[in-house]
């Protein structure tokens, strides 16, 4: 009790609260509490990352894809395949639900093992049930919601994913995603006006963290002329935490 009184006296005496307005102070404490809650919740999940492509891992919160988390990917099959390739090569089974136009051969070229890839192209209205059933047994599940799911069913699915340790990649938006990955400033190389062919693409990948709301982006070859995905050496489009790799 005394200590409490002492501390409160000290707090009053410090100059900062005098400068801060009460609203800002409450915001700060809310943020601190949220960070504390997050850190307590996240201790188990942060420790379990699934193999992620190094060019993208640095952009993701926590340094890679987490087990039991949901990520939303905006309309890019190649980015999706890059994310799937790591866990697939490490022996995970992958499932793609509700994406009938998933390019199988491109997936193989990106390094996804077709022996451990399962497609459910037309789940219909049962897409949420099917996704949950598949997530019970698969390491990574891709799904595309045909319509918005209810909050309660999303919460149920999230709990199931956490319990099973499966990672869900959603094509489109998802309310409780860990992060949102999107592409912009796509630039194709190797093709001219009536000559050449599509050979390589430079693109800016932006990862928006749900919690902090701060986007991180990097310029990537997706893919380069050798069908590899790597950081581009040209002018970066934004903040990057990873040291840039040398490019040829």
Partner 1 sequence: MSPHTRRAAPIRIPADAALSPRHPGGGELPGATIPRVMVLWCPDWPITAAIHEARPASDAVALIDKGLVYASSAAARADGVTRGLRLREAQARCPALVVLDYDPAVDNRVFEPIIAGLEQLTPHVQVLRPGMCALRVRGVAQYYGGEKGAALALAGRMDELGAGQTRAGVADGIFTAEQAARGSRGGHGRVRVVAPGESAAFLAPLDVGLLDDAALVTLLRRLGVRTLGNFAALPADDVRTRFGEPGRRLHALASGRDSWPLVPRTPPDDFDVVIDFEPALDRVDQVAFGVRTAAERFIDALTAAKLACTAIRVELLSDAADVSERVWLHPRSFTPADVVDRVRWQLQGSGVIDAGLSAGIIRVNITPEAVDAIGNHESGLWGTGPDERIHHGLSRVQSMLGHGAVLMPSIGGGRTLGDRQQLVAWGDRPVGVRQVAQPWPGRLPVPLPGTVFEPRHPVHVFGAGGVAVVVDERGALSAAPAELSAGATVLGIGSWAGPWPVDERWWSQDARRCWRFQAVDSTGCAWLLVLDEGGWWAEARYD
CA distance 50 to 161: 14
Q: CA nearest 103: which of 78, 122, 82?
A: 78
What is the DSSP secondary structure assignment for residue 139, as one 8-state letter? S
CA dihedral sign, ordered 105, 110, 111, 115? negative
Q: CA nearest 64: which of 72, 78, 54?
A: 54
Of the chain, the end-to-end C-alpha distance in Å amounts to 66
Q: Which is nearer to partner 1, 188 or 239 (CB)?
A: 188
Q: How far is the CB of 123 from partner 1 (least distance, A)?
A: 7
Q: Which is nearer to partner 1, 5 or 248 (CB)?
A: 248
Angle, nearest 10°, between helix axes 151-164 and 127-135? 10
CA distance 94 to 131: 12
Q: Which is nearer to partner 1, 7 or 104 (CB)?
A: 104
Q: How far is the CB of 96 from partner 1 (least distance, A)?
A: 9
Q: How far is the CB of 120 from partner 1 (least distance, A)?
A: 6
Q: How far is the CB of 233 from partner 1 (least distance, A)?
A: 19
Q: CA nearest 220: which of 206, 241, 209?
A: 206
Q: Which is nearer to partner 1, 49 or 199 (CB)?
A: 199
Q: Which is nearer to partner 1, 3 or 193 (CB)?
A: 193
Q: How far is the CB of 30 from partner 1 (least distance, A)?
A: 39
Residues at the contact surface with partner 1, assessed by CB under 8 A: 75-78, 80-81, 93, 100-109, 114, 117-124, 126, 129-130, 133-134, 136-138, 183, 185-188, 191-201, 203, 223, 227
């Amino acid at each position: 009790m005394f200590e409490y009184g002492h501390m409160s006296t000290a707090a009053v005496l410090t100059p900062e609260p005098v400068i801060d307005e009460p609203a800002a102070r409450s915001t700060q404490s809310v943020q601190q509490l949220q960070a504390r809650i997050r850190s307590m919740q996240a201790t188990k999940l942060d420790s379990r990352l699934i193999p992620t492509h190094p060019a993208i891992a640095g952009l993701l919160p926590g340094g890679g894809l987490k087990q039991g988390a949901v990520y939303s990917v905006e309309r890019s099959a190649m980015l999706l395949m890059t994310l799937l390739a790591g866990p697939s090569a490490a022996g995970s089974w992958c499932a793609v639900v509700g994406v009938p136009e998933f390019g199988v051969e491109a997936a193989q070229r990106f390094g996804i093992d077709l022996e451990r890839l399962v497609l459910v192209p037309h789940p219909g209205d049962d897409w949420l049930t099917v996704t949950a059933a598949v997530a019970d047994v698969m390491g990574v599940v891709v799904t595309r919601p045909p319509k918005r799911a209810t909050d309660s069913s999303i919460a149920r699915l999230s709990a199931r994913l956490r319990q099973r340790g499966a990672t869900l990649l959603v094509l489109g938006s998802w309310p409780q995603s860990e992060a949102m990955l999107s592409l912009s400033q796509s630039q194709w190389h190797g093709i001219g006006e009536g000559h050449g062919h599509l050979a390589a693409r430079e693109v800016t990948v932006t990862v928006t963290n749900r919690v902090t709301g701060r986007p991180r982006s990097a310029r990537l070859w997706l893919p380069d002329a050798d069908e590899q995905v790597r950081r581009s050496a040209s002018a970066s489009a934004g903040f990057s935490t990873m040291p840039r790799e040398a490019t040829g």
